[in-house]
Amino acid sequence: MPLSPDQQAEIEELRSQPQQTLRAVSPGMEAHLYHARPVLDHGFVRVVDYMGDDAAITQAARVSYGRGTKSVSNDEGLIRYLMRHWHSTPFEMCEIKLHVKLPVFVARQWIRHRTANVNEYSARYSILDREFYIPEADALAAQSTVNNQGRGAALTGEEAERVLRYLRDDAMRAYDHYEEMISTEGQDGLARELARMNLPANIYTQWYWKVDLHNLLHFLRLRADSHAQYEIRVYADAICEMVKDWVPFAYRAFEDYRMGGATLSAAGLECVRRMLKGEEVTQENSGMSKGEWREFQGLIG
Amino acid sequence: MPLSPDQQAEIEELRSQPQQTLRAVSPGMEAHLYHARPVLDHGFVRVVDYMGDDAAITQAARVSYGRGTKSVSNDEGLIRYLMRHWHSTPFEMCEIKLHVKLPVFVARQWIRHRTANVNEYSARYSILDREFYIPEADALAAQSTVNNQGRGAALTGEEAERVLRYLRDDAMRAYDHYEEMISTEGQDGLARELARMNLPANIYTQWYWKVDLHNLLHFLRLRADSHAQYEIRVYADAICEMVKDWVPFAYRAFEDYRMGGATLSAAGLECVRRMLKGEEVTQENSGMSKGEWREFQGLIG
Amino acid sequence: MPLSPDQQAEIEELRSQPQQTLRAVSPGMEAHLYHARPVLDHGFVRVVDYMGDDAAITQAARVSYGRGTKSVSNDEGLIRYLMRHWHSTPFEMCEIKLHVKLPVFVARQWIRHRTANVNEYSARYSILDREFYIPEADALAAQSTVNNQGRGAALTGEEAERVLRYLRDDAMRAYDHYEEMISTEGQDGLARELARMNLPANIYTQWYWKVDLHNLLHFLRLRADSHAQYEIRVYADAICEMVKDWVPFAYRAFEDYRMGGATLSAAGLECVRRMLKGEEVTQENSGMSKGEWREFQGLIG
Amino acid sequence: MPLSPDQQAEIEELRSQPQQTLRAVSPGMEAHLYHARPVLDHGFVRVVDYMGDDAAITQAARVSYGRGTKSVSNDEGLIRYLMRHWHSTPFEMCEIKLHVKLPVFVARQWIRHRTANVNEYSARYSILDREFYIPEADALAAQSTVNNQGRGAALTGEEAERVLRYLRDDAMRAYDHYEEMISTEGQDGLARELARMNLPANIYTQWYWKVDLHNLLHFLRLRADSHAQYEIRVYADAICEMVKDWVPFAYRAFEDYRMGGATLSAAGLECVRRMLKGEEVTQENSGMSKGEWREFQGLIG
């Protein structure tokens, strides 16, 4: 269970105290505030705060005085134009702040996106909880035989059981020893900044993560993608649901031009043109390597 | 006058429509929203949006679930501790979005602070207004004779008059020619992206500028400083007034530890220690160069 | 003439003093060092320093100990793979430092790319030279009638002459007054930080600009593009020539997958698939707006 | 041992092949190239590449054509001036690329410095080595009783032995299970991206880290400080030795104005002034909290 009853109560008390503001308000996003969305076995994502809405994007694009155009259809048209033509600065005018609880190995991937602000729970200062990510049966996958950094079918039977046993037992033992090492009963107690190094990478940590909409969409494009590791993709998917309600025009444009779109190389573009003229194009006369040709065929279906 | 009656009316309509939100609200900052604060002869700064308040800083510092400590004095104590020890990430959890109208030569200094988001009015796309910064009499200063990048006393008499005449006449003529060149009456009309290059650097531009509190305070430390050029300092001063009302604890800590504080070099620190022991310290036995000694003496009064 | 004889002599002296190094050396780039490549009427780009080469990209991708693979073909294959799949961090491992002389209005566009290091000549501290960009006849273009931020055909006849006369005369007059205002003969002399604001945006400035290869390629994709303003495109084109010699594999991959490639939207991709199956697709049944359809048709030729 | 004989041989072969270059060369830094400096029990830092030297800093500050002033003393004076007055952009004109092998918990602290480029060894793609950080006896410290995020005296006797046994045994067992889980002998083999999560935070990883001199000095000021965790401080100390030889003027200025210097608050500055006038100042009349006063007294010795 991601949140304790105390935490839940504290959050619910905050939910019951709306205040007045003159700022842009996104009704869709207000509904997400103070709701922690569960992810994996002990993790969650919750929106702590946000700045701006769809109209804030067009307002900045026009460097205008008021809230953008009167006409909603114009706002959406402009947002689609901006997305299509890679005008990224207006999307940077929206900001979101998330509170995320996630396994350390996911945090290590996530933090590679540097254009964001982060405050992580400090294991030098505080004691970590006994919470570890243990995959569900269908997420316990074999190494992919075609992709060096991917996974294949789910493990089964004894192999699956042994893996789960190792993951659980090693985590529990490591945590027992962690507690024992930092204990000050009858001993000095190891420094927390050292003891933490005994803990495996499936332990949960948490942080505040603040990012602008442009960089968030870039993160989502990479991490909500089918090539991303499952354990980070579920976080990205959960965030997608929030963004969809926060800035619906921007999110729809993002789906059309980024998530659902594709990039063709110069060679790929040339092949499409030749094929549309009725020419027979094969890998041999395509100007592409075998790998590229395979990817190209996957693309044009 | 910075705002036209139309713009003023549009802004005032928005002021009259408060909405409910579950986000952190800073009452001090709400009072600034939709008020354009005049700066220089045609410029202004106005807050368009903000995220967070003092409590949001401590909340992130504690990666806590609720609104920070119960006790306000604890919140201020923690904020002062964070500021004193250069823990910058909790301050990054607040964000502000400003709409600024400013002369181009000020914009060129401002943009050197790169950790911010910017949307500037496009002179490729749109036509600039006939608005130029012309200094007040007391800002019309001579080159400093001691500081290569500073200014001295105000110019007077004929010299001052001639300078003002040049600034005004050259700006008006340049703008007349700008208009004439882009006009399509009886001619093709020069591209706006070319015509703009005839305009001098005291013409006004405007932008949306979004920045986190940590980077904003860094900007203010440099630009609200007495060594900053007067024409950017007045913008920084205006923003200081807003930040003071937005995050009063953080702003007070900033004044005590950054604006009002000073950095001593290893040699300066050693000299202070020797002087406090009653030793006679001179430039010769201080280990400092003449320039450093002069700055040091200015510091310790 | 971009460089004075003195500057030329200083640079040439440095060219004649090669030194030994154990670092990665790019022979193609060494040939560019200390050659200022002229751009526009008074500008230039010159490489001051660089870090890394093609092998440095693969070395970082593999976090390897030595200089990458033995086989050159493998290096190129890996670089193409990295570019195709948007693995940007290995390209960030190469760095370039340029000295650029450019008109202020070009500098203002350029600086919008924030992930770079910049040192610009200070007009608060120093006196600017009397050098202004005046377009060649064929660059003196009319406002585009179809694109709000583009240009059309070249102006001709009297209109062209008048524009050139305005640009030249206004610049000369502004500079005369600039010199007169800062002069200390028989007067105090206006502060340089104020006097500079009388100068139009076609005056030349210069800076040192340092950027990693990934961000440089992003800059080139936007600025060497046909939609970029001509006056910045010529700088981007000049830099392309250098990059081609510096990291030939990376540059070729960039041409194939970025410059020569294209992004299809979800709707565009779907249309291509339908068309390849022999279906008749029109704007009406394409799911695209008229603007998108026009762009799509331009793409697939 | 940080490097295998093969790696050592590969590096040494590269050392024996100096090439000619026209770029700025730092003789002090050349001596470090291809020498892996051991840190902790299995870690190291080695310079892979660098850009610039002391003269490159002054060259950029002056936006000059050649290599800076003729006079070395002038270069040092300018560098000290730039450091003293927080003019950071010229220091950004130097760049360094390091290859670092370090425990994961150190890497997690390190990566919080975001203004750098990183390529880390991928445990999704590759198999990690059986190498774990086990502290030396004198680094096996108790939790500090005065500082929540610090450490006290070294543990001794049985307690120390038990900690070491836990750290070693848990690491070995976790690695045994890691190997067993990914093995494909007689089973499918768990995906590497999942198996890695069983490994504790004292396992070694490695990365290429590239950063400019300004941001590197900021990193060193925080991480070579006595308040930094010992296990990252030893890396910072090792890098300090390299920087000292790379840019001796800049490093000396850094020691005088940053590392050896101190920041006084407004209240602290006022107290120093009063004390120098002979006034008796106590915590009560200082305007400081007890914590601040204690830090202040530590400072003025």
Tell me the pLDDT tens digit for each residue of C238-261: 999 999 999 999 999 999 999 999
Q: For residues B24-48, give the mean pLDDT.
A: 95
Q: Which chain B positions have a beta carbon within 8 Å of C167's beta carbon? A: 197-198
Q: For residues C39-55, give the mean pLDDT.
A: 96
Single-letter amino acid code for the residue at A188 = D
H helix intervals, chain D: 5-15, 27-30, 54-61, 72-84, 104-110, 157-182, 192-195, 213-223, 230-246, 248-254, 266-276, 283-286, 290-300
Domain ranges of chain D: 5-133+202-259, 134-201, 266-300
Shortest Cα distance from B148 to chain A (angstroms)? 36
Contacts of D284 (CB under 8 A, 6+ apart): none
Q: How far apart are CA C242 and CA C247, in angstroms?
A: 9
Instruction: pLDDT band for C67, please (50, 70, 90 cuts).
Output: low
Identify the pLDDT of residue A17: 82
Identify the pLDDT of residue A67: 53
Task: Give C59-107 as a DSSP string.
Answer: HHHTT-SSSS-S-HHHHHHHHHHHHHTT--GGGGG-EEEEEEEEEHHHH
Residue A142 is nearest to which of D105, D191, D229, comparing CB atoms? D191
Q: How far is CA D146 from CA A125, A178, A184, D150, D290, in A?
A: 12, 21, 15, 8, 15
- D123 labeled part of a ligand binding site: yes
Asked if D90 contacts D61 with a C-beta cutoff of 8 angstroms, the reply is yes
- ipTM for the complex? 0.93
- B15 labeled part of a ligand binding site: no
User: What tokens does C126 get?
Assistant: 């120093």
First and final C-alpha spacing in chain C: 43
Residue A60 is nearest to which of B11, B30, B208, comparing CB atoms? B208
Residue A19 is nearest to which of B7, B25, B52, comparing CB atoms? B25
Identify the pLDDT of residue D15: 66
**Residues of D with catalytic function:** 223
Identify the pLDDT of residue A243: 98
- B114 labeled part of a ligand binding site: yes
CATH of domain A5-133+202-259: 3.30.1360.170
Coil, strand or helix at B191: coil
Identify the pLDDT of residue A1: 46
Q: Do A255 and C276 touch (CB under 8 A)?
A: no
**For residue range B91-139, what is the model confidence (pLDDT) as tens digits?**
999 999 999 999 999 999 999 998 999 999 999 988 999 999 999 999 9
Shortest Cα distance from C286 to chain A (angstroms)? 13
Asked if C201 contacts B199 with a C-beta cutoff of 8 angstroms, the reply is yes
Identify the pLDDT of residue D63: 85
Q: Do A266 and C259 touch (CB under 8 A)?
A: yes
Q: Do A197 and D167 touch (CB under 8 A)?
A: yes
Instruction: pLDDT band for B176, please (50, 70, 90 cuts).
Output: very high
**For residue range D163-211, what is the model confidence (pLDDT) as tens digits?**
999 999 999 999 999 999 999 999 999 999 999 999 999 999 999 999 9
Q: Give which of C47, C97, C102 is closest to C233, Cα–Cα.
A: C102
Instruction: pLDDT band for B34, please (50, 70, 90 cuts).
Output: confident
Shortest Cα distance from C254 to chain A (angstroms)? 10
Q: Which of B15, B223, B258, B274 is catalytic?
A: B223
Q: How far apart are CA D162 and CA A181, in angstroms?
A: 8
Q: Which of D143, D155, D173 to mutate to test the interface with A (most CBs of A within 10 A)?
A: D143
Q: Give which of D201, D249, D233 is closest to D103, Cα–Cα.
A: D201
CATH architecture of B5-131+202-259: 2-Layer Sandwich (3.30)
Q: Is C114 exposed, middle or buried (0-12, 13-18, 19+ CB in 10 A)?
A: middle
| Spacing of C-alpha B239 from chain mean position | 6
Identify the pLDDT of residue C6: 76
Instruction: pLDDT band for B150, please (50, 70, 90 cuts).
Output: confident
Minimum CA–CA partner of D295 in chain B: B84
Q: Which chain C positions have a beta carbon within 8 Å of D90's beta carbon? A: 119
First and final C-alpha spacing in chain A: 42
Instruction: pLDDT band for C15, please (50, 70, 90 cuts).
Output: low
Identify the pLDDT of residue C1: 47
**For residue range B177-211, what is the model confidence (pLDDT) as tens digits?**
999 999 999 999 999 999 999 999 999 999 999 99
Residue A124 is nearest to which of D149, D167, D182, comparing CB atoms? D149
Poorest-pLDDT segment among A67-81, A282-296, C73-87, C215-229: A67-81
Identify the pLDDT of residue A10: 73
Q: Do D272 and B300 touch (CB under 8 A)?
A: yes
Please list the ranges in chain D whose pLDDT falls under 50: 1, 68-69
| Helix (H) or strand (E) segment spanning residue D46 | strand D43-51
Minimum CA–CA partner of B162 in chain C: C181
Quickly count: other Cβ atoms within 10 Å of residue C233's Cβ.
18
Instruction: pLDDT band for B75, please (50, 70, 90 cuts).
Output: confident
Instruction: pLDDT band for B71, please (50, 70, 90 cuts).
Output: low
Shortest Cα distance from D155 to chain C (angstroms)? 37
pLDDT in tens, chain A (301 residues): 456 777 777 777 766 788 999 999 999 999 999 889 999 999 999 999 999 999 999 999 988 765 544 555 688 999 999 999 889 999 999 999 999 999 999 999 999 998 999 999 989 888 999 999 999 999 999 998 887 778 999 999 999 999 999 999 999 999 999 999 999 999 999 999 999 999 999 999 999 999 999 999 999 999 999 989 999 999 999 999 999 999 999 999 999 999 999 999 999 999 999 999 999 999 999 999 998 999 999 999 8
